[in-house]
Structure 1
Amino acid sequence: MNNIKMKKVLISLDYNPTAEKVAETGYALAKEMGAEVYLIHVISNMEYYTSTVYSPIMGYGDFGNVGLSTVYTAEDLKAETQKYLNKSKDHLSDDTIQTIVVEGDSADAILDVAADIHADVIVMGSHSRRWLDKILVGSVTERVLHKSKIPLFIVPTRG
């Protein structure tokens, strides 16, 4: 059997408090394989970012504390998102992690970036209490799963 070397892991993070578990699990997987780590966040729905229900994630509480209703432009949102990914990178204590912020449909953007960087695996979380049901019914994770040509590592994050 050939030894297949996984060289790049793309970890998709949203602003759900479970992102910390997804980041840590994906990072551990990548380090076990000796792979490069990429963190991605896709900006897809402006309303999502104006919610005041956020909890601090990996030490980044700015979205809940500042109130994103003050962020009006796409560039402002990208800058805040980059800060979030930088805080996530700091949380994982690894300066070699690369971060990517893109706009668009979440599933398509994740797949496009995975292809662009030649990722060997995509790590995503599933927030549903019945995560397998959610995957089978429909979600970003489900859409990535059905369209991906590379392995998908799903981290169940139910409470």
Structure 2
Amino acid sequence: MYQTILFPTDGSDGADAALDHAVEHARTYDATLHVLFVAKDDFGPSGMVEKEHEGVERTEMVGGEELERERAAASKTGMTNKPPESAGAVHEHGRRVVADVADSVAGVPVETAVLNGDPYKRIREYADEQDADLIVMGTHGRTGVDRYLLGSVTEKVVRTADQPVLTVRMREE
């Protein structure tokens, strides 16, 4: 029934709550588990960067050719909101997150990826590119104003993905 299961994670407790479900489905159906981290790259109108990922100062999320183009443009204008000295911090965090998940999973084939972009869009795109049969995501269980103000990547994926999405709510302790 399922050959490819996508587990997007940001390394949070909410995402971790869904991991057991993703692994169990992968074992049950002898599926490959794809572990995905998406580095959110919206720098806002002021050029100030926000703290997006736990324990990581979010200052640079582009890499490779895109980073070189941004540096070249910054050198021409003298303006940048992405200090090069901290380039790759979020990507390194993402690599650690997906590696930790992959290391914790036994008996299931695992593929990992770290991408840039709007998380819910990149999750959908990756699911389509990999022909995912199921997306398993955690949810923080926010309601009311918190949910409205903070938004919910999981909710957006549920509403817009072509694949079925299994959501797992983080347990309250």
Percent of aligned pairs with the same residue?
22
Output the amino acid matched with 1:48: E
Q: Which runs of 5+ in 1 are unaligned?
A: 55-62
CA contact (8 A) 1:126 1:158 kept: no
Query: How many residues are aligned here?
Result: 136
Please name the residue that 2:98 is paired with.
85
C-alpha displacement at 1:95, in angstroms?
A: 7.0
Q: TM-score, normalised by structure 2?
A: 0.68
Please name the residue that 1:152 is paired with.
165
Please name the residue that 1:44 is paired with.
40
Select the residue among 13, 17, 22 that pairs with 1:17: 13
Please name the residue that 2:156 is paired with.
143
The 1:76/1:129 distance shift into structure 2, 3 A limit, reads closer
CA distance, structure 1, for counterparts of residue 103 and residue 12 of structure 2: 18
Higher gyration radius (CA):
2
CA distance, structure 1, for counterparts of residue 10 and residue 160 of structure 2: 20
Please name the residue that 1:60 is paired with.
none
Mapping of 1:93-112 within 5 angstroms?
A: 93-94=106-107, 96-112=109-125
Moved more, 148-157 or 37-46: 37-46
SS in 2 for 1:18: helix
C-alpha displacement at 1:8, in angstroms?
A: 0.2
CA distance, structure 1, for counterparts of residue 91 and residue 51 of structure 2: 14
1:58-87 CA-partner distances (Å, limit 9, x unpaired): xxxxx4xxxx349721x3321231122111
Higher relative contact order (CA closer than 8 Å, sequence separation 6+): 2
Q: TM-score, normalised by structure 1?
A: 0.74
Aligned CA-pair RMSD: 2.7
CA distance, structure 1, for counterparts of residue 94 and residue 108 of structure 2: 18
SS in 2 for 1:6: coil
SS in 1 for 2:11: coil
SS in 2 for 1:15: coil
C-alpha displacement at 1:130, in angstroms?
A: 5.1
SS in 2 for 1:118: coil
